[in-house]
Amino acid sequence: MSSDAPDRLDPTIDERAVAVIRGIAMDGPAAANSGHQGTAMALAPLGHVLYSRVMRHDPSDPTWRDRDRFILSAGHASILQYALLHLNGYAVSADDLRAFRQWGSATPGHPEAGHTPGVEVTTGPLGQGIANAVGMAMAEANLRARFGSDLVNHHTWVIAGDGCLMEGISHEAASLAGHLGLDHLVCVFDDNRITIDGPTDLTVDDDAAARFRSYGWNVIDAGEIGEDLDALEAVLNEARDHRGAPTLVVLRTHIGFPSPDHTDSAAAHGLAFGADDIARTKEILGLDGTPFELPADVVDATQAHAMSRGASAHAQWQQRAAAAGQPWNDLVHSSPVDVATLPTWSAGDKVATRKAIQACIDASVDSLPGLLIGSADLTGNTGTKAATFTPMTRDDHAGRQIHYGVREHAMGAAMVGMARHGDICAVGGTFFVFADYMRPAIRLAALCSAPCVFVFSHDSVAVGEDGPTHQPVEHLASLRAMPGLEVIRPADANETAAAWVIATQSMGPVAMILSRQDITVVTDGSAVHTGAGIVVNVPDPAVILIGTGAEVSVCVDAAAALNDRGVATRVVSMPSWERFSECDPSEQAAVLTPGIPTVSVEAGVSFGWERWSDRHVGIDRFGASAPGGEVLERLGISVEAITTAVDDVLGHA
């Protein structure tokens, strides 16, 4: 929309709308006795200009594919976004505003995607939103390059504060965005120079503009225009129209403005405004002092304006899509991966599951037109490569192989942004031990049900000579503890193929845990769908061995030794605790028959296995540097250790 659009709001409505937003920004936290009003107050003019003049969005259809995306990286200022959503006609009611931060309301303490209409990603931990925005911009750039600007041509807008830029993830993500020249990405840096502890000069002397220029960003130093709506609009339009690089707009603001008591004060960051402070500020704003004041003429005007702008932009896009001659869904819809096209392996074959995943990826690219795949500098090591894909580069955004560089945290958060953008199957890989570097992003993927596929290879102490720094032992237990994340550790190549099908169809994030070393194929893959299944069965078993990953084949060898001794032994592969937990008790009992002792085997800590087994063969210590096979043997992942545990659980001398 151009700045001279005929449906421009009356200047008086503009002024009053900003005042109303600032009033809500004070009233919400005051009513909740919790929240952050100062940043929301300072950014009210910016937010109003973005929503009413600059962004393309349709409140009647918050998921319209070619809408601009807005991300509040400074998620503590969520009351700002909620007020903007209400004034612009989204399904956030006045009652929702009054219920700020209360149980079951649409206005939680930080923005939550899938919970509040109009919220694109779940933010709160600072810096995540910037990296999410980079992922969204990558998705937009790729789809635009492949399907044309008539169908895909939107911008990603993000508001970030000092804390966002201090967090390391923002450095990783900004560097990647500059390298790729993502020119449909605009970040507004709210330079209010205040943090919770006090002025930012307590902790930082960075020149943010110089830093972003060094990343290859276009930087606009907007200065002290925070109260000038027309100047804000001009700067935002300039940023939107810039080509060749993402843009950082440095906007000097004053936290808590126009409070006579708390402007430019660290106290304004949290809940410091008392009733008298609010009353004095509302008098300056020309409000009558009523809590949650929403004048009908202001609300009606802003909502009608947003609905009209949105309907017009949406209709124009629909006309362009129709002229393209093919429905949008036909261009980007991902079909279920055809299992018949995936490779299969014969019993006794030896293949690392990190190699099996690459074979599965190559076999399924035609079913996944939205697939964007990459790695944090470990592409060949992790199997996260499609042989027919070319790299995404500054000069070729149509490339679907992403080289994230050594930026695990940014990779994880960018994948969340891609997934939340839509029409993208985001797959990224690194060594399992580096899940530690990605954990905040993985957690947010789980929180907002972002369908990402996190591929983690080198899953155990079998990594070998690299030693304990690269040998994950506690990571499986850690990720299994995370609600909303499905963790699958396939036993062999066939289970890897089955896991890949599930991962690409999932409505939430999936972590695939894969081996570095070759593993003997011992399954047909069927155990993945139910979470656990019988690999070796015998009549009237005396004991059940439960394994995951490479340890299933060790269990098969141990079972052979035990059966030779007359100890009837069943072997179960349990690639997914989550899936098996969801099975009916009768299905579980058919696999883990009640009354039969169980011994679990996994090259990781024993934490949690008491749920499934009577004894556990595991590794409750960090690893060591030596050849992988020797490390496994010395740390007790062996046939001998398993048979000893069986003798113990059965009470054999």
330 pLDDT higher than 90: no
Task: Over range 192-219, report the average pLDDT.
Answer: 97
Q: Provide the pLDDT confidence category of residue 531 given band limits of 50, 70 and 90.
A: very high
For the residues of 582-643, what is the DSSP string, one character each? Answer: TS-HHHHHHHS-TTS-EEEE-SS--TTGGGT-SEEE---S---SS-HHHHHHHTT-SHHHHH
Judge whether residue 145 has pLDDT over 80.
Answer: yes
Which of 188, 192, 173, 194 is CA-nearest to residue 219? 188
Q: Taking a C-beta distance cutoff of 8 angstroms, is the pair 377, 406 a contact? A: yes
Q: Is the pLDDT of residue 5 over 70?
A: no
Q: Which amino acid is at 114?
A: G
Query: Is the pLDDT assigned to residue 4 strictly greater than 50?
Result: no
- Third-level CATH fold of 11-319: Rossmann fold (3.40.50)
Residue type, 105: S
What stretches of 54-114 show up as alpha helix (H) in DSSP? 78-87, 94-98
Judge whether residue 393 has pLDDT over 80.
yes
| CA–CA distance, 152 with 130 (Å, rounded to integer) | 21
Tell me the β-bridge partners of 379: none
Q: Taking Cα atoms as reference points, which of 453, 244, 224 lies closest to residue 235?
A: 224
pLDDT at 340: 87
pLDDT value at residue 338:
83
Helix (H, G, I), strand (E, B) or coil at 418: helix
Whether 2 shows a pLDDT value over 70: the answer reads: no
Q: Using the 8-state DSSP alphabet, how is residue 335 labeled?
A: P
Nearest to 404 by CA among 369, 433, 438: 438
Exposed / middle / buried, residue 514 (Cβ in 10 Å: 0-12, 13-18, 19+): buried
**CA proximity to 162, closest of 227, 246, 84, 253:** 253
Predicted confidence band at 653 (pLDDT cuts at 50, 70, 90)? low
Give me the amino acid identity at 641. A
Write down the catalytic residue from 408, 486, 495, 551.
408
Q: Which residues contact 235 (CB under 8 A, 6 or more apart)?
A: 220, 222, 225, 249, 251
Q: Is 495 a catalytic residue?
A: no
Q: Extract the tokens encoding 81.
A: 């976004």
Contacts of 320 (CB under 8 A, 6+ apart): 150, 151
Residue 498: alpha-carbon gap to chain centroid: 23
- Rounded Cα distance between 134 and 525, Å, is 36
pLDDT band at 652 (very low <50, low <70, confident <90, very high): confident
| DSSP H helical ranges for 506-622 | 527-530, 551-564, 577-581, 585-591
CA distance to 343, 521, 653, per residue, from 407 (Å) = 31, 33, 53
**Which uninterrupted H or E stretch holds 421?**
helix 408-421
Strand order in the sheet with 371-375: 401-403, 371-375, 425-431, 452-457, 510-513, 486-488
Span 423-465, pLDDT tens digits = 999 999 999 999 999 999 999 999 999 999 999 999 999 999 9
Q: How confident is the model at residue 6 (pLDDT cuts 50, 70, 90)?
A: very low
Q: Element (H or E) spanning 504, and its range? A: helix 493-505
At 118, which amino acid appears? G
Interacting residues of 430 by C-beta distance below 8 A, sequence separation 6+: 375, 376, 378, 382, 408, 411, 437, 438, 455, 456, 457
pLDDT tens profile 57-98:
999 999 999 999 999 999 999 999 999 999 999 999 999 999
Residue 333: which pLDDT band, with cuts at 50, 70 and 90?
A: low
Mean pLDDT of the chain: 96
CB 605 within 8 A of CB 620: yes
Peptide bond into 258 cis (omega under 30): yes
- CATH 3.40.50.970 residue window(s) in the chain: 11-319, 339-520
Q: Which residues pair with 223 in a beta bridge?
A: 251
CA-closest candidate to residue 305, choices 1, 618, 626 = 1
| Distance (Å, whole) CA 111 – CA 93 | 15
For 474-525, what is each residue's pLDDT tens digit? 999 999 999 999 999 999 999 999 999 999 999 999 999 999 999 999 999 9
SS (H, E, C) 394-417: CCCCCCCEEECCCCHHHHHHHHHH
Answering whether pTM is above 0.95, one says yes
Q: What tens digit of pLDDT does each residue of 626-651 get?
A: 999 999 999 999 999 999 999 999 99
Q: Can you read off the two tokens belonging to residue 442?
A: 């993985």
For the chain, how are helix, strand and coil distributed in percent, rounded to 5? 45, 15, 40
Question: What percent of the chain stands above pLDDT 90?
Answer: 95
- Token readout for 254 is 């004053």
Task: Give 331's pLDDT tier (boundaries 50, 70, 90).
Answer: low
The amino acid present at 340, given as its one-letter code, is A
pLDDT in tens, 582-610: 999 999 999 999 999 999 999 999 999 99
The mean pLDDT of 374-400, rounded to a whole number, is: 98
Residue that the structure tokens 């909502």 belong to:
303
Is residue 1 predicted with pLDDT exceeding 50? no
| Residue range(s) in the chain whose domain bears CATH number 3.40.50.920 | 531-650
Query: Do 4 and 53 meet the contact criterion of CB atoms below 8 Å apart?
Result: no
- Whole-number Å distance between alpha carbons of 461 and 468: 8
For the residues 261-281, what does the mean pLDDT come to? 93
What is the per-residue pLDDT for 334?
65
The CATH fold of domain 339-520: Rossmann fold (3.40.50)
CATH fold label, 531-650 = Rossmann fold (3.40.50)
Calpha distance 412→153 (Å, rounded): 24
Quick one: average pLDDT of 177-193?
Answer: 98
- 563-588 tens-digit pLDDT: 999 999 999 999 999 999 999 999 99
* Rounded-to-integer distance, Cα 434 and Cα 407, Å: 10
How far is Cα 582 from Cα 592, in angstroms, rounded to an integer?
Answer: 14
> 3-state class of 600 per DSSP?
strand
